[in-house]
């Protein structure tokens, strides 16, 4: 069996897509026994320490030779990794047979290049996923958090968010989705926004939120990609959402009526303590920080 086809064959075996002849060939070579051993091993894993599991798995692999032939360590770990993804182990880039998912850490900015060369810039504490194999037919991504998209090729492009979607033909736009609040800003071209409350289009220099409130976009690109995140007459919920992407904190605002509060100013993208002061002190909002929870008073 050629190495260049092995990953595809193992993937098909996991999905019961192999013919009887190929299965018979795997049985005779001993590779199928080794694969079954890996499945059994992975099924026993909980939430392990990576180093200890690697050693354990390596010892088992070294001991399992079948008729003088053994699947390579790389292939075994690749198969095990694909199974781990199904049970939810989070890493920077998760790849399964159907979906590729990018995950950013708090405060991290990550550039993603799609199969057609178009790009997205992912803000911190955000997740973006898409089906790579189906990209030519369906350019659809799922977003949780915030991302800036630069779509410069013709054809439909859709961003699915909590409660709706954004559709474009060729443009530059920014999307923030936080809890039940979404906000879209258009920097170039035209964007179609479709949610429960919105079925509208916005063009360059325009923005809209999930409450169907339009506003002007004064900047040329998202400023969260620089040293400071800036706001002009922004709703406080947007600012809180932006803070949650840059820093590992949960902001509890249940004791403060934030619906009508607006914020004009900026906060540091690198200093958590300074950022909290820059936002809440001008608004006269007191707060305490304990165990990564910011309680507004």
Query: What pLDDT is recorded for position 274?
Result: 96
Q: How many CB atoms lie within 10 A of CB 221?
A: 16
Query: What pLDDT is recorded for position 24?
Result: 73
Query: What pLDDT is recorded for position 260?
Result: 85
Query: What pLDDT is recorded for position 158?
Result: 94
Query: What pLDDT is recorded for position 259?
Result: 85
> Among 53-67, 145-159, 167-181, 250-264, where is mean pLDDT lowest?
53-67
Query: What pLDDT is recorded for position 153?
Result: 75
Q: How confident is the model at residue 160 (pLDDT cuts 50, 70, 90)?
A: very high
Tokens of 243: 């803070």
3-state secondary structure of 140: strand
Tens digit of each residue's pLDDT (9 = 90 or more) over 42-67: 455 544 444 444 444 445 445 444 43
> Would the pLDDT of 176 be above 90?
yes
Query: What pLDDT is recorded for position 23?
Result: 73
Mean pLDDT of 196-200: 85
Query: What's the pTM?
Result: 0.63
- 183 by Cβ neighbours in 10 Å (0-12 / 13-18 / 19+) ranks as buried
């Amino acid at each position: 069996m050629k190495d260049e086809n092995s990953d595809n064959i193992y993937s098909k075996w996991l999905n019961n897509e192999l013919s009887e002849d190929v299965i018979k060939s795997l049985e005779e070579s001993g590779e199928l026994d080794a694969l079954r051993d890996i499945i059994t091993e992975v099924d026993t894993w909980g939430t392990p320490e990576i180093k200890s599991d690697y050693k354990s798995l390596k010892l088992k692999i070294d001991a399992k030779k079948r008729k003088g032939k053994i699947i390579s360590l790389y292939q075994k770990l690749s198969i095990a990794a694909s199974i781990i993804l199904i049970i939810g182990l989070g890493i920077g880039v998760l790849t399964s047979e159907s979906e590729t998912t990018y995950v950013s850490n708090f405060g991290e900015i990550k550039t993603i290049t799609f199969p057609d060369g178009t790009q997205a810039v992912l803000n911190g504490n955000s997740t973006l996923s898409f089906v790579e194999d189906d990209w030519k037919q369906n350019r659809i991504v799922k977003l949780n958090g915030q991302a800036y998209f630069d779509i410069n090729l013709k054809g439909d492009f859709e961003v699915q968010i909590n409660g709706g979607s954004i559709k474009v033909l060729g443009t530059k736009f920014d999307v923030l989705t936080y809890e039940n609040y979404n906000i879209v800003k258009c920097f170039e071209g035209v964007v179609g926004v479709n949610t429960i409350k919105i079925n509208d289009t916005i063009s360059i220099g325009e923005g809209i939120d999930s409450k169907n409130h339009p506003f002007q976009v004064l900047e040329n690109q998202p400023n969260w990609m620089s040293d400071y995140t800036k706001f002009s007459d922004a709703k406080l919920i947007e600012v809180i959402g932006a803070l949650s992407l840059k820093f590992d904190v949960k902001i509890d605002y249940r004791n403060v009526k934030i619906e009508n509060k607006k914020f004009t100013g900026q906060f540091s993208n690198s200093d958590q303590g300074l950022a909290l002061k820059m936002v809440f002190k001008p608004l006269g909002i007191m707060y305490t920080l304990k165990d990564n929870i910011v309680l507004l008073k």
